[in-house]
Amino acid sequence: MSWRTFWRTVVGRAYPRFIGVWREKSWVVFDVFFPLLQVSAYVYIYRAIGAPPEFAGFAVLGGAMIAYWMNVLWSMASQLYWEKESGNLQLYLIAPTSRMAILLGMAVGGLTATTVRAAGVILVGALLFRIPLQVSHGALFFGVFLLTLVALYGLGMLLSSVFLLWGREAWHLSNLFMEPVYLFSGFYFPVRALGFWVALAASVIPITLGLDALRQLLYPRLMEQFRFLPVETELGILAGLAVLFIFLAHRGLRFFEDLARREGRLTLRGQ
């Protein structure tokens, strides 16, 4: 398969999701308003106990990053299973293109709506609660953010094949992984509060390290006592996770393609 076919597949799968964001503009308002309600609860808790104003920034940043985790969980990890249920998966398998290109297109298209929601939460939250947001190293901040997304969506591609192989449990797995990640990834507080070993185990989810690094770059003075690992170390781990997840995703997709050709099924138990 040529690179031209690969990138045309990416554009083709990204286009419907990109266009869908702007067809119903009222959804953008709800995508920002409802997540902001949960963020507001944590902001008021921090203010009630007299925490430094930077802690409100922790909550707003975490609330914005939740949008990416939800997109990975519902629009990436479960996507192939939903396509199978709707009868479209066969078309993906027989298409003369890469399954990785199809998933990458879904990721790129989904990033549009997700970024609008995340940016809206940060902007409205910062203005509403007067939260200080000062990025001292803009290029490094953007690099950490981008690498976090690469690793996170690599995990989504891996989970898409795993969920497909497990069949009907995909829906339950999506629900199972949603709330615990809110806690163990430290969306609303520094993950170091959970203890070193718990935070280390939670680091298998890229957003854990990504959030910690972004907070260090936003609030370096306060994060000196709350950081989990130095930013440089977290960058190295994120890069390793990105390569690992993308490699495993490729192997996983090849596995279920071979399973389909060999046994005529796409799940481990014929579901």
pLDDT digits (tens, 9 = 90+) for 188-201: 989 988 989 999 99
- And the tokens for 102? 């199809």
The pLDDT of residue 206 is 92
| CA 6 to the chain's CA centroid | 23
Whether the CB-CB separation of 134 and 140 falls below 8 Å is answered with: no
Whether the CB-CB separation of 147 and 157 falls below 8 Å is answered with: no
Residue extents of the structural domains in the chain = 3-263
The pLDDT of residue 212 is 93
Return the SS3 of 97.
Answer: coil
The pLDDT of residue 147 is 92
Distance (Å, rounded) from C-alpha 217 to C-alpha 221? 9
User: Residue 240 pLDDT more than 90?
Assistant: yes
Return the SS3 of 268.
Answer: coil
User: Residue 270 pLDDT more than 50?
Assistant: no
DSSP state of 193: G
When pLDDT is averaged across residues 104-126 and rounded to a whole number, the result is 83
Residue 202 φ then ψ, to 5°: -70, -15
Residues 6+ apart with CB under 8 A from 4: none
Which residue in 8, 241, 10 sits closest to 106, CA to CA?
Answer: 10
User: Residue 179 pLDDT more than 60?
Assistant: yes
User: 235 vs 1, 18, 179, 185, 209, CA distance in Å?
Assistant: 32, 29, 25, 16, 8
The pLDDT of residue 262 is 66
- Could you tell me the sign of the dihedral formed by the alpha carbons of 127, 113, 138, 150, in that order? positive
Report pTM.
0.83
The pLDDT of residue 251 is 84
When pLDDT is averaged across residues 67-90 and rounded to a whole number, the result is 76
pLDDT digits (tens, 9 = 90+) for 182-238: 888 889 989 988 989 999 999 999 999 999 999 999 888 888 888 898 999 999 999
Whether the CB-CB separation of 165 and 258 falls below 8 Å is answered with: no
User: Residue 95 pLDDT more than 80?
Assistant: no
